[in-house]
């Protein structure tokens, strides 16, 4: 199941690849990259050098952090793979996501678009099927991910998803709260019983 606190080595970050975003999103992504580097945690990410993922990876690397990118061959030009960090080039999106999952003990979801949604919905679906219990933390500045949470709650209200599914993740509204939430849920051993928001651990 999930890694114990003394074994955590890597955190996977899912996020957008667009440069045409609010500058604050890019700043926050870079800040979190530096947080991971300072904590000696490897950043596992989608391998691109653009958008939030590029900002996060570049900042982590420049701060002396360990970074691993995984990118499909067909995206190496479009997402401009970073050549200054370790990068695994794979054949498909499925292989990319599988390696990202296998190389990570926890997951952080920064603001992103349809690609990020696809990645996190699959991860949460695996959690629903009890295929993993690794902690998942959404960074939701100004309620960015609230529409998604409302949609998922809608499926619960329609009795298509069990109520306890809504305990499958935690939500941070400040960059500095992301890692403490991951660590709290790891320490609890079962994220269903762990804090869901940063205010619950302060």
| Per-residue three-class SS string for 92-159 | CHHHHHHHHHHCCCEEEECCCCHHHHHHHHHHHHHHHCCCCCCCEEEECHHHCCHHHHHHHHHHHHCC
Contact 2, 132 (CB under 8 A): yes
Global pTM value: 0.89
Assess if CATH 3.30.70.940 describes domain 10-200: no
pLDDT profile of the chain (202 residues), mean per 10: 59 96 97 98 94 96 97 84 88 94 96 96 95 96 98 98 96 97 82 45 30
Direct distance between the N- and C-terminal alpha carbons of the chain, in angstroms, rounded to an integer: 26
What count of other Cβ atoms lies within 10 Å of the Cβ of residue 150? 9
């Amino acid at each position: 199941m999930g890694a114990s606190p003394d074994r955590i080595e890597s955190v996977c970050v899912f996020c957008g690849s667009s440069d045409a975003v609010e500058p604050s999103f890019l700043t926050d992504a870079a800040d979190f990259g530096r947080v991971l580097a300072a904590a000696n945690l490897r950043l596992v990410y989608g391998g691109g050098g653009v958008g939030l993922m590029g900002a996060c990876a570049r900042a982590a690397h420049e701060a002396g952090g360990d970074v691993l990118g995984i990118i499909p061959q067909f995206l190496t030009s479009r997402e401009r793979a970073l050549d200054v960090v370790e990068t695994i080039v794979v054949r498909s999106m499925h292989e990319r996501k599988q390696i990202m999952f296998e190389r990570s003990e926890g997951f952080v979801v920064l603001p992103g678009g349809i690609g990020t949604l696809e990645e996190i919905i699959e991860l949460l679906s695996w959690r629903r099927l009890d295929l993993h219990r690794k902690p998942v933390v959404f960074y939701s500045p100004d309620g960015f991910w609230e529409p998604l949470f409302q949609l998922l709650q809608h499926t619960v209200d329609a009795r298509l998803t069990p109520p306890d599914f809504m305990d499958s993740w935690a939500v941070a509204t400040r960059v500095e709260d992301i890692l403490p939430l991951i660590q709290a849920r790891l320490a609890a051993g079962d994220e269903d019983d762990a804090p869901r928001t940063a205010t619950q651990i302060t």
